[in-house]
Amino acid sequence: MSEKRTIIIYSLMRWDQPMAGASMAIARELSKTNRVFFIDRPFSIKDLFKSYEDFSVRKRLKAILFRRNQFLTVQTGFSNFVVATPGLTIPINFLPPGIIFDFFNAINTWIVKSCIKNMVKKYQIKEYIFINYFNPVMIPTLKISKAQNLMNIYYVVHDIRLSKYMQKHGEKAQEDLLAKTDMVLVSSKHQFKRLFRQSSRMHYFANAVDYSFFENARTKEIPKPYDLLNIGQTKVIMFCGYLSSIRIDYKLLKLVCETYPQYLVVIIGTYEEKDLIYHGLEQIPNLIILGNRRYESMPSYIKCAHVTIIPYLCNELNQSVYPMKLNEYLAMGKPVVSTHFSPDLDSFAEVVYISSSYQEFLNNIEIALHEDSEIRISQRLKLANSNNWSRRADHLNFLIEQFIQHKS
């Protein structure tokens, strides 16, 4: 990149959420060569009352309620970026599309934009690139009177029509945004193919991995997680991700537990209590569901695995998903067994055990455990390293510079 740019990222996630994933990875990587500002998804009045005791809320109270200490500098180890916390907004997602929703959405937009305007003034931002990370409903593009917008970028994470939270208002908002934004990034091949006719300014931009972070954990002695200290020599089958009935094939997950009672099946990630009860998961003796863990601790958990799995349903939602966990598993050198839920998996066919049936999935777990070797590990590491966030950021920097030069 010929010069250091200012990039403002407005995300559907908050920077310190365990599931922040790609939005945070992009912010970290782009901050190596740019000045980056990350705008948290605002807390609504409903969020405040529902999660008042949560540390993530309490530490932001001054910013949320009184608009004090709204800006936090986050150190990454190799750079830094600024996180902005907007003021309290009105919960409106339950409203039907129409005049009332538009009115209150305009108020919420004003609240978030006032935070951004304060940020522009405080940090003397003269020009910027705006990245909307999958939130087309509020601030789809950004225009600030005191600074020049060089370009707007929209990042599509998955199929918005099938998102429980976004589907009511998101589909129409996304359609409008695709028509007017300067560039569109799409993280899955299925979504790229589906949306390409709506925008010719679209680029396939798959999820990746912080390879050096996982490599450091893989090659060094690190403490075993406290909640897996007492498993002894028991082999571990592990899944890291969101447990939900719209994503996970619970029948397959239970079959894994039943077929391999001598192994420990460990699940790390957010889960829905009603799913555990409905599917009787809490009654399975060799299944441990640990809940969310911080991103920084994930390598220590994955290091305990003997085989990793992605037991996703083969449905329309998962077709549009490129899971970050895939490259993270590979970056730790671990064998991966997966259902064939997405065309994005095809490029991993040489290193991932892709399964087209329940029986093949179960058989592949045993094959993966027994044919693991240094050659196999080396192949996984090589592919993971080719999919690192540093390369993605370099590519995005190139696309940005190319657009700006062409525009001028």
pLDDT tens-digit map of 276-304: 888 888 899 999 999 888 888 999 999 99
273 and 174 in a common domain: no
Note the pLDDT of residue 1: 44
Q: What is residue 275's predicted lDDT score, i.e. its pLDDT? A: 85
Over residues 61-87, the mean pLDDT reads 91
> Are 191 and 233 within one domain?
no
The enclosing domain of 260 has a CATH number of 3.40.50.2000
Sequence-ordered list of residues with C-beta below 8 angstroms from that of 273, at least 6 positions apart, any chain? none
Is residue 302 domain-resident? yes
Task: Say whether both 44 and 178 belong to one domain.
Answer: yes
Q: What angle do CA 19, 343, 311 make, to 5 degrees?
A: 55
- Three-class secondary structure of residue 32 per DSSP: coil
In a domain, 55, yes or no: yes
Please give the residue range of the domain that contains residue 154: 6-208+388-407
Residues 192 and 336 in one domain: no
Q: How confident is the model at residue 167 (pLDDT cuts 50, 70, 90)?
A: confident
How far apart are the C-alpha atoms of 39 and 250, rounded to whole Å?
36
The pLDDT of 350-355, averaged and rounded, is 96
Residues 195 and 275 in one domain: no
pLDDT at 2 over 70: no
The pLDDT of residue 18 is above 80:
no
Q: What is the pLDDT of residues 198-211, one digit of tens each?
A: 877 899 999 999 99
In the predicted model, what is the mean pLDDT of residues 328-348?
A: 95
Q: Provide the 10 A C-beta neighbour count for residue 36.
A: 26
Please state, rounded to an integer, the average pLDDT across all residues of the chain.
92
Query: Tokens at residue 142, please?
Result: 């950004």
Q: Identify any residues that bridge with 148 across adjacent strands, giving them in sequence order.
A: 127
Is residue 279 in a domain? Answer: yes
Whether residue 129 is found in the same domain as residue 262: no
Q: Do 256 and 123 share a structural domain?
A: no
Q: Model confidence at 274, in pLDDT bands (50, 70, 90)? A: confident
Inter-residue contact 333 to 377 (CB < 8 Å): yes
Whether pLDDT at 334 is above 50: yes
Q: Residues 264, 131: one domain? A: no
Q: Decide: 16 and 81 in contact? Cβ < 8 Å.
A: no
Total domains in the fold of the chain: 2
Within-domain flag for 401: yes
**Cα(400)–Cα(201) distance, rounded to whole angstroms?**
12
C-alpha angle 210/16/249, rounded to 5°?
70
Percentage of the chain lying above the pLDDT 70 cut: 98
Same domain, 273 and 303: yes
User: In the predicted model, what is the mean pLDDT of residues 360-383?
Assistant: 94
Whether 1 maps to a domain, the answer reads: no
Q: Are residues 18 and 164 in the same domain?
A: yes
Residue 53 has pLDDT above 80, yes or no: no
Both 155 and 263 in a single domain?
Answer: no
How far is the C-alpha of 391 from the C-alpha of 229, rounded, in Å?
A: 36
Label residues 94-109 b or e (16+ Cβ within 10 Å = b): ebeeeeebeeebeebe
> Does residue 177 carry a pLDDT above 80?
yes
- Spell out the SS3 assignment of 264-312: EEEEECCECHHHHHHCCHHHCCCEEEEECCCHHHHHHHHCCCCEEEECE
Beta bridge partners of 149: 128
Examine residue 290 and state whether it is found in any structural domain, yes or no: yes
Q: What is the pLDDT of residue 246?
A: 87
178 and 275 inside one domain: no
Q: Is the pLDDT of residue 135 over 50?
A: yes
pTM, rounded to two decimals: 0.90
